Chain A
Amino acid sequence: DSGVTQTPKHLITATGQRVTLRCSPRSGDLSVYWYQQSLDQGLQFLIQYYNGEERAKGNILERFSAQQFPDLHSELNLSSLELGDSALYFCASSVDPYPTDYYGYTFGSGTRLTVV
């Protein structure tokens, strides 16, 4: 157990629907990152939050949004889902906004999203 908790582990939904993925960071970590792993795009960075504020943005579609709550958990909202959104969505966390310790990030085990 890495200490980063992602729920649900698996999600199957239909095209056009909206889903919410949840991430609880490791205890003491203030920064949360979201990554998408798909067959087409590989592993790519979506967005980072630090202590409730958006810190960095990557290749995140406009149909996707995220937020970090006061208790530091984060949610990734995916709407108007398309078949191509099927992927493994990882959350990671770190203490600092720019990870400095050896491990840098701690990854969760991911949410497998299947859009049918």
Chain B
Amino acid sequence: AQTVTQSQPEMSVQEAETVTLSCTYDTSESDYYLFWYKQPPSRQMILVIRQEAYKQQNATENRFSVNFQKAAKSFSLKISDSQLGDAAMYFCAYRVTSGSRLTFGEGTQLTVNP
């Protein structure tokens, strides 16, 4: 069974600084997607970034980038120039390409200090 682990229940960062959230996963599949979702106090699940396992290049979306280490089964999220609006719960998630269900990690609560 696939599992996703986020070992940092809470993280904090100063506004304008950089923070990295960690995620590891376990799977025997070779073709899958990895995601980072953001859940602000509004509860809405918002996709931050997606990585296809077959791509060696790390995904980037504006201030958000990932460090995808397939052999190590590691998928970290780096947030640059942190903003107050980045404060939220962040979930790492996995989905096999041929499947539909998302498997989520436990989440990391990110606080951004002014």
Contact = CB atoms under 8 A, between A and B. Distances in A.
Interface of A: 2, 31, 33, 35, 42-45, 48, 55-56, 58, 88, 90, 92, 94, 97-99, 102-105, 107, 109-110, 112
A42 B110 CA distance: 17
Interface string B8-48: 00000000000000000000000001010000001111110
Interface string B45-69: 1110010000000000000000000
Interface string B80-105: 00000000000100010111111111
Q: Which of B33, B45, B98, B105 has the most CB of A within 10 A?
A: B45
A43 B100 contact: no
A23 B89 CA distance: 24
A43 B91 contact: yes
Interface of B: 33, 35, 42-47, 50, 91, 95, 97-107
B50 A104 contact: yes
Contacts, number: 53
B101 A43 contact: no
B47 A2 contact: no
Contacts of A48: 100-101
SS class, residues of chain B in contact with chain A: loop
A44 B100 contact: no
SS class, residues of chain A in contact with chain B: strand
Given A42-B107, A43-B104, A110 B99 contact: no
5 contacts: A2-B44, A42-B106, A58-B101, A92-B45, A94-B100
A33 to B, nearest CB: 7
A97 B100 contact: yes
A44 B106 CA distance: 10
B47 A103 contact: yes
Contacts of A35: 102
